[in-house]
Structure 1
Amino acid sequence: MNLKKTLAALVAATTMSGAVAAEELSVAATPVPHAEILEHVKPMLAEQGVELDVKVFTDYIQPNIQVSQKNMDANFFQHQPYLDSFNEGRGTSLVSVVGVHVEPFGAYSTRISSLGELQDGAVVAIPNDPTNGGRALLLLQKHGLITLEDSSKITATPQDIANNPKNLEFKELEAATLPRILNQVDLALINTNYALEAGLNPTEDALVIEGSDSPYVNILVARPDNKDSEAMQKLEDVLTSEAVREFILNQYEGAVVPAF
């Protein structure tokens, strides 16, 4: 009887230990490359007792709202200038946890093969959010198409253009829609994640593209109350691991660049 009781106790203990749930961590992300990178690290986190729940969003607003309202633990889709602008405009206090990668911003066209071919009055589409719109204009300025009143203003809009020798006409549209209207404009400035989703290869298809020294590092974002949690720290560690660095380099072939 003692042996049977001992065996029963061992079975019960094993069952109870196996029933202990892993800690859950929910992260909002845009599909490419953010959600792909998160899916890649899921097994690594599972080994450390963290169950990663990735929710995919296709816009740049809801991921921050969901985290701010505590419906999600974190998000992964944006760079620091965008986060700063969002916090200021929405009264939120989201914070960066760690920088992971850079998605070099590019200019694309189905009508021309170089910026020199842009005609007078050409229509140029740029993102309508302050930081990515400004980022687009800074790239055009870098390549001599326009001059801004403040050459370093990261939230510049078309109203901040001081010199526009080709009389370019700017259309400000939601960033996610730009690949879909590419054939309707002469040039579109597109975030790399949306370019990749649309089947564009930034290193081959972009007429011009930011260098790897871009200041727009994509970051893991959380709230002040949970940014230092054990699960968040584990996610930070795997996102900046050598395994993820190799994954980014091999998977995206220069279209996405590790920032660590």
Structure 2
Amino acid sequence: MKKLMMMLTIVVLALAGCGNSDNSDTGSTEETKTLKVASLIKPMTEILDLVKPQLKEDGINLEVVVLSDNVQPNSALAAKEVDANFFQHVPYMEEFNRNNDANLVPIEPIYFANYGVYSKEYKSIDQLPKGAVIAMANDVSNIDRSLSLLAQHDAIKLKKKTGSYYTMKDVVENKQDYKFKEVDLLMLARLYDDADAVVMTPAYAAPLGLTPKQDALVTEGIENDFAITLVARKDNQDAEAIQKLAKAMTSPEVKKFLEENYDETAIPAFN
């Protein structure tokens, strides 16, 4: 009987030991925070992939959710399907907030996507003929941005801005009678063959083999409010995981990556 009791005791202790081991493992798993970030294309997705190891050391599992259009990332963030997104500039985010009664907030500007005007046929903006068709993205923030770029280089003149965005009604001088074709952002590259010129970011010019430095008729530079920005919600903007992500995305490693791989097409917006 004593032997039987001893054997039962050993079994119970062994099982208890296994249980403690499982609890320890579970605790370790629970300490890892999964952070979902919606994005679209390179170099946005590359930057997120680059910071994954650093975040993992901080107990954060960064999950990059790659979506197929420029509406889904904000819709998913507002619906709390993701924790943050990284694909847009602040004016675009503000437009979404107004139209959807949302509370998205900018966390950190990461890089300037050097906006430019591209043409398959013409080598300078002065060569564009009278009545030339210029394609641009059809959302109000990018119409504002496109018109501002054209005005910056004296292709058109705009009246003093009184609202949040420039619109076509603000064009007060268009000596060359340019025709503006507004299309979905993701359709811009397709217009390169058909329109006389297209106003677009490096991300959409790159698949065509175009860069601002070598191919754009004119470019925007960095004196603007259109940096591609990490965005979260008002309710989670101060979360530790979000702040650690912002810190990682503005690290010297990310700056070096952009400078070495994207030159002036993605200019760091941080020091």
TM-score (normalised: structure 2): 0.88
Query: What amino acid does structure 2 have at the position aligned with 1:167?
Result: D
2:268 matched to 1:258? Answer: yes
Superposed displacement of residue 10, structure 1: 8.4
The range that moved more, 7-16 or 195-204, is 7-16
2:101 matched to 1:94? Answer: no
Query: What amino acid does structure 1 have at the position aligned with 2:46?
Result: E
* Aligned equivalent of 1:200: 210
Superposed displacement of residue 80, structure 1: 1.2
1:37-116 paired onto structure 2 within 5 Å:
37-116=47-126
Q: Choose 1 or 2 for highest CA Rg.
A: 2
Query: What amino acid does structure 1 have at the position aligned with 2:44?
Result: H
Aligned match for 1:222, one of 222, 226, 232:
232
Deviations 1:166-211 (A, max 9, x none): 0001100111111111010000001222223443222212111111
Query: What amino acid does structure 1 have at the position aligned with 2:196?
Result: D
* Aligned equivalent of 2:174: 164
| Gap change, CA 1:11 and 1:45, over 3 Å in 2 | farther
The range that moved more, 116-125 or 83-92, is 83-92
Query: What amino acid does structure 2 have at the position aligned with 1:55?
Result: V
Maintained 8 Å contact 2:77/2:232? yes
Quote the Cα distance in structure 1 between the aligned partners of 2:238 and 2:83: 12
SS of 1:82's partner is: helix
TM-score (normalised: structure 1): 0.91
Query: What amino acid does structure 2 have at the position aligned with 1:122?
Result: A
Maintained 8 Å contact 2:91/2:225? no
Question: How many residue pairs end up in the alignment?
Answer: 260
1:107-256 paired onto structure 2 within 5 Å:
107-150=117-160, 155-256=165-266
Structure 2 unaligned regions, length at least 5: 1-5, 7-11
Quote the Cα distance in structure 2 between the aligned partners of 1:10 and 1:97: 45
Q: CA RMSD in A?
A: 2.4
Query: What amino acid does structure 2 have at the position aligned with 1:220?
Result: L
Superposed displacement of residue 46, structure 1: 1.1
Superposed displacement of residue 16, structure 1: 5.1
Superposed displacement of residue 130, structure 1: 0.6
Deviations 1:84-108 (A, max 9, x none): 1111121111111111111111100
SS of 1:232's partner is: helix
